[in-house]
Chain A
Amino acid sequence: ELKVEQNPLFLSMQEGKNYTIYCNYSTTSDRLYWYRQDPGKSLESLFVLLSNGAVKQEGRLMASLDTKARLSTLHITAAVHDLSATYFCAVDIWAGNTPLVFGKGTRLSVIA
């Protein structure tokens, strides 16, 4: 059974600081997703990582994938309050025809 573990589950950061969220998964995967969820809202796609060594950046967020280590990271640079949300990673075991398996999410709170 595929397991996806995120850590930390809760993160309180000061504005302007950097931090990294980790996503470990237990079996080989072709692709990994990062989503953002605001309270009471749906999932917003942030990044799709499709190969080993993939790195994607959008604004203050950068995601990377190491398929050999079965690890993805979401790095936050110079955090701002607007980044406060819950971040999920999700793993797709095969290229389609399978559900996404989600981590438990990291609840990020950025404080002044």
Chain B
Amino acid sequence: KAGVTQTPRYLIKTRGQQVTLSCSPISGHRSVSWYQQTPGQGLQFLFEYFSETQRNKGNFPGRFSGRQFSNSRSEMNVSTLELGDSALYLCASSRDAWDEQYFGPGTRLTVT
């Protein structure tokens, strides 16, 4: 069974630009969560989608948004990038709300 995949794996952007990251969950998994990992703040929850609906959102500004498609694939978008958005963005999928989450390899975003 294929694991969670994320694309791209690495990304370099300039301040003020926007970026879209993609996550394909494990087949059959309907819940997708996004996390941001930085050296200073650690791992922080961004949002969670289930059956195309955002059910939970972490404490991040509105520049961070996401969506989920009918095939459970998810995208997150960050607009007007700031240097502080440089991070490893991890996507996790689970079969349903109460199941264990499985993490993808992450997208390393660098903002210059």
Contacts and interface: CB of A to CB of B under 8 A. Distances in A.
B99 A96 contact: yes
A42 B42 contact: no
Interface of B: 33, 35, 42-45, 48, 55-56, 58, 90, 94, 96-106, 108
B43 A102 contact: yes
Interface in A50-102: 88, 90, 95-102
25 contacts: A33-B100, A40-B108, A41-B106, A42-B104, A42-B105, A42-B106, A48-B100, A96-B94, A96-B96, A96-B98, A97-B55, A97-B56, A97-B98, A98-B56, A99-B45, A99-B48, A99-B58, A100-B35, A100-B43, A100-B101, A101-B45, A102-B42, A102-B43, A102-B44, A105-B43
A45 interface: yes
Interface of A: 33, 35, 40-45, 48, 88, 90, 95-105
